[in-house]
Structure 1
């Protein structure tokens, strides 16, 4: 018997059915036994396991209590370090909330569904088919979504700009040293709407021209002294009336007002600065 005949006789017939490429493909589906665990991780936030919403709620309550306590006590002033810490923590919680919500959305992606529940489990008979797959690896897919969704600074910034408490905290940290200046990058660019005159924010009631003591802000974003706007309501027998600001056609009623915390903080910061100036002059004299 020749050497070539002997080799053919001893060869394994199963070798004819082996894939041409025995290396692991780039795209490998998750084993079916691990699919449910993978899904639980992706959807952990929606199933109540995420502590971010609870932490965010507690932080909001704490911040509001602090602001209201300082605002309601004339002898107290805001602490810059406390405000900055509240602001930083609040922003981080908002970012975490947005990122976690984006991660949850990944579970609805077709590629991940195929990864978790593949039509074909990987074996020798379909190894070549997986080698030819155009699907990215799960790592590549999640990384691409991280850039596209999770790390979307634009979405985070848009949310922050529309969040009233974040903007209030940010404004409070600024006006402590600049009580008469408009806050930079304010959402509302209409100077008239935020009471700016000559580049400064007026700290006086537009009706009486006296400095604010109990400022209230209207639904049309104009600020008045509480007693003077109440007099306006009394004049109209507490019925609807037009905003006293010239050129504003908004119709107001008793439900159109709320405490203007930012204006009250401005007046508090301004009076403190004026007092410090007087004290300095007394020391010089």
Structure 2
């Protein structure tokens, strides 16, 4: 009787069992739950940051306008950590989603691993396991975003973080250019090396400042809305600032947290000066 030779060695590549695929897909709800917790933490620290700025600049605070650097550093560090964590969790979730889509496609063509299909999978040779695909995709995406400075750009989209980071410089003089964030102020009206605090349309001090994404020029909400009256969300008019060739519309406008902070500091200092003059 001939001896039967059975190769019991597992192939290098093993397909994911259908039950594990379902568990993997169910993990998406866990990712969403963690993201929500991180977002809640961001909201909480942002609220603390706003409250701190309001305290420093409030009329009830009779002390000279100054900041507690330890408090400011703690708020900035904590807020940044939460924002970066959310950004990385979103990247991981995207990598898992992409891997999940590939797994579904593979399941349509790959039979389950059995004694009968063992030789078939040995013929596959070396092939990435699904977990390796997720990790590799995540690291590739992370490396690309680090190269592009994506995390820093994401952090800079949070108004409270931007205000906290620049609070010390603006407190020194609300019309001073900032040592960084130059992209936000390259084209803002500057006179004698100072940032103008006056709306270019009314020439009054800014009220509820909005910035154009197209050209970075800043306007008071009421005056730019009046200027754009009669246009639709996407249609627009030429920027009213002399020499600017950009076309701006309602959709191009966004709140300017830095100019808003400048005006808070400017008005706080004005109130302090009037109080001194009364004395």
Q: TM-score range by the shorter chain?
A: 0.5 to 0.7
1:273 Cα deviation from its structure 2 partner: 8.9
Aligned to 1:279: none
Aligned to 1:50: 32
Aligned to 2:257: 261
1:196–1:202 Cα contact (<8 Å) kept: yes
1:69 Cα deviation from its structure 2 partner: 4.9
With the length of structure 1 as denominator, give the TM-score of the two structures: 0.61
Matched, 1:148 2:121: no
Shift in CA distance, 172/154, structure 1 to aligned 2, threshold 3 Å: same
Aligned to 2:90: 97
1:217 Cα deviation from its structure 2 partner: 1.7
| Structure 1: unaligned runs, 5 residues or longer | 1-11, 277-285
Alignment root-mean-square deviation, CA: 4.6
| Structure 2: unaligned runs, 5 residues or longer | 171-175, 232-236, 273-279
1:243–1:251 Cα contact (<8 Å) kept: yes
The DSSP-based 3-state class of the residue aligned with 2:101 is coil
With the length of structure 2 as denominator, give the TM-score of the two structures: 0.62
1:28–1:137 Cα contact (<8 Å) kept: no
Aligned to 2:195: 201
1:27 Cα deviation from its structure 2 partner: 1.5
Matched, 1:191 2:183: no
1:152 Cα deviation from its structure 2 partner: 4.6
Structure 1: distance between partners of 2:271 and 2:255: 25
Structure 2: distance between partners of 1:238 and 1:143: 51
The DSSP-based 3-state class of the residue aligned with 1:50 is helix
The DSSP-based 3-state class of the residue aligned with 1:90 is helix
Structure 1: distance between partners of 2:141 and 2:248: 42
The DSSP-based 3-state class of the residue aligned with 2:81 is helix
- Where do residues 18-167 of structure 1 align in structure 2 (5 Å cutoff)? 18-19=6-7, 22-30=8-16, 32=17, 35-45=18-28, 47=29, 50-59=32-41, 61-62=43-44, 65-66=47-48, 69=51, 74-75=57-58, 80=72, 81-110=74-103, 114=106, 118-123=110-115, 125-138=116-129, 139-149=131-141, 152-154=144-146, 157-158=149-150, 161=153, 165-166=157-158
Shift in CA distance, 63/258, structure 1 to aligned 2, threshold 3 Å: farther
Structure 2: distance between partners of 1:223 and 1:237: 14
1:96 Cα deviation from its structure 2 partner: 0.9
Question: How big is each residue's C-alpha offset from its partner over 1:174-231, in whole Å with a ceiling of 9 and x where there is no partner?
Answer: 322222234635555x721x44556653344446767x4635124454224568x38x
218, 223, 235: which is aligned to 2:218?
223
2:42–2:82 Cα contact (<8 Å) kept: no
The DSSP-based 3-state class of the residue aligned with 1:214 is coil
Work out the number of aligned pairs and report it: 248
